């Protein structure tokens, strides 16, 4: 019976569980041209500019719910700087305004279920 159920050894010299090279089985294959550090590739990500600096808004009002809702995620979290592109000083003022608006019930603390 043991003669019928023999397991075939892998033909490559790689250990089992370790990924093979880029062109081998289990690899991703060759990368497309232009995706490396020298080329821009298919997409070009523009640097985000602070909305408040460009529009020269100095004070962020906590009563302006429409403005603040753009910086609050669907679940109720404050969206971070790296996603919105707001500068550091305006992000701090924005956070303070959102928290004030939450405390007087203009904005929700969390999303509804």
- pTM attached to this predicted model: 0.60
Does some domain include residue 85? Answer: yes
Does some domain include residue 16? Answer: no
Contact status, residue 81 vs residue 88, Cβ threshold 8 Å: yes
Q: What is the pLDDT of residues 65-112, one digit of tens each?
A: 999 999 999 999 999 999 999 999 999 999 999 999 999 999 999 987
State both tokens at 103. 């405390």
Q: What is the CATH number of the domain that holds 95?
A: 4.10.640.10
Does some domain include residue 49? Answer: no
Domain count within the chain: 1
Q: What is the pLDDT of residues 21-69, one digit of tens each?
A: 555 566 666 655 555 566 556 777 777 899 999 999 889 999 999 999 9
Structural domain of 99: 55-103
């Amino acid at each position: 019976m043991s003669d019928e159920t023999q397991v075939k050894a892998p033909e490559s010299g790689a250990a089992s569980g370790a990924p093979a090279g880029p062109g081998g089985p289990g690899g991703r294959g060759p990368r497309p041209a232009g995706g490396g550090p020298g080329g821009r590739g298919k997409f070009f990500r523009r640097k985000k500019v602070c909305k408040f600096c460009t529009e020269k808004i100095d004070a962020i009002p906590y009563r302006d719910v429409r403005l603040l809702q753009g910086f609050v995620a669907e679940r109720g979290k404050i969206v971070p700087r790296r996603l919105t592109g707001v500068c550091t000083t305006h992000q701090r003022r924005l956070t303070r305004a959102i928290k004030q608006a939450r405390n007087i019930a203009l904005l929700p603390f969390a999303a509804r279920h």
